[in-house]
Structures are given as structure tokens and as C-alpha cells.
Amino acid sequence: MSDYLDCVITEHNPAQKDIDRAVIWLHGLGASGHDFEPVVPQLGLANDMAVRFVFPHAPKRAVTVNGGMVMPAWYDILEMSLERKIDVAQIEASSQQIQDLIRREIERGVAPEHIVIAGFSQGGAVAYHVALSYPERLAGLMTLSTYLATNENIAYSAANKDMPILIEHGSHDPVVPVILGEQAQKLLSDKGYNVTYRTYPMAHQVCMPQIQNIGKWLNSVLA
């Protein structure tokens, strides 16, 4: 039996029908599973869908670029160059923990093709690694204000070659420059993936127009 990550669970429409859709959404560096919990009621999800949102808490670890301070982190960031040198072994370990959460949702009765993997910033880098390598077809991949950190380490899965991918970024992001979102979009589009790419006039954050667009996208891929 797996030792699952601690998670915040929020359910949309659980009284309407049995939960048969899921979104596993990863927070950014130094945050927690509560970070995106308030967003769920603002998404405008369809009333005929019952969706479980799973917001895992990252383990606490020392982060080199923050002076070795211990904080919730999916992996260590070794330097803040544009290439974003990271601890690949840690991102792979975190990806395995998220795959465990996917399997738990499947055991609860949610088909893999009804599961979305999402992540913000550092969580988005893990979401890329998980979804692009997952051996069964998923509903979609959503990455926000992030970068594709492990392109050379991902065993790209043919099962998810046609998976919808939503990449969104702030055009004024000082933490993860928008060029990194553009690079991920180009790399995946060149590989033949179905990518939707949007930017918003904001920094390293989310905004209400974006949340509304995310809700529309979730309604589409989870329908």
C-alpha cells in the first residue's frame, strides 16, 4: 500500500451523481494544497458533472536557490538561470507520488481518461513529467506559469499523444519568464501535441479571466 501525499480534497457537485471525474492540481514552490482550493467554485463547471479536485501538499525540502531554506517543494532548484537547473531525481520521485494519486482515483472509480493533471509554477513542471509519460490516456494536462524542465528525461507516452494540453502564462511574469512558456508550447507543438497557449497581462499569479477560461477548458475535456 502506498503512502499517499497529504491532500486537500474539494468536490464539485457530489450530491448530483457519483464522482467520476478528477483533477489533480499541484501548487507552486513554498505554497500548499490549499493554494488553489478557493478557485474551484469560480470555475463555472457544468452542473451535470461530478468532479473531485485533489490538491496535494508537496514534501518539505531544502531549496538551494533560497539559501537552503526548507519549504514545501516538489524538487530542489539548483540555479535560477533561464535553463532552470534542477534536481531531476527529485522531480521523478515527485512524479511517482502523483502517479500514485492517479491510481488511487482509478481505484475509486474514475477512469484515467477522465483525469486531468494540472500544476502551477514548480507544480507545473511535475505535471508535465507525469502526464506526458503516463501509460494510459488522460483527459488533459494544464500547466500554469511554468516550464518544461525534463524534456530530455521524459519517456513520452504514445497513449497521450492526442491529449489536450493547456499552457497559460503571465506576460509580465518576473519569476518564470514568459519565454519559458513559449518554449514549452513550441516544443510540444513540434512533437505533434494538441496545445492551446494563452497569455494574460499579469505577473506570477492567476487572474479571473484566466480562471473562467480554465473552467471552460475543463468543461470541454471532462465532458
How far is it, in rounded angstroms, from Cα 69 to Cα 56? 21
Give the number of C-alpha atoms closer than 13 A to the C-alpha of residue 126, restricted to the C-beta side: 31
The active-site residue out of 94, 95, 121, 145 is 121
pLDDT (tens digit, 9 = 90+) per residue, 18-29? 899 999 999 999
The closest of 196, 190, 187 to 163, measured between CA atoms, is 196
Any catalytic annotation for residue 121?
yes
**Average pLDDT of the chain, as a whole number:** 96
What integer pLDDT is reported at residue 1 of this predicted model?
Answer: 47
Please tell me the pTM assigned to this model.
Answer: 0.97
Any catalytic annotation for residue 204?
yes
CB atoms within 10 A of CB 34: 12
Any catalytic annotation for residue 173?
yes
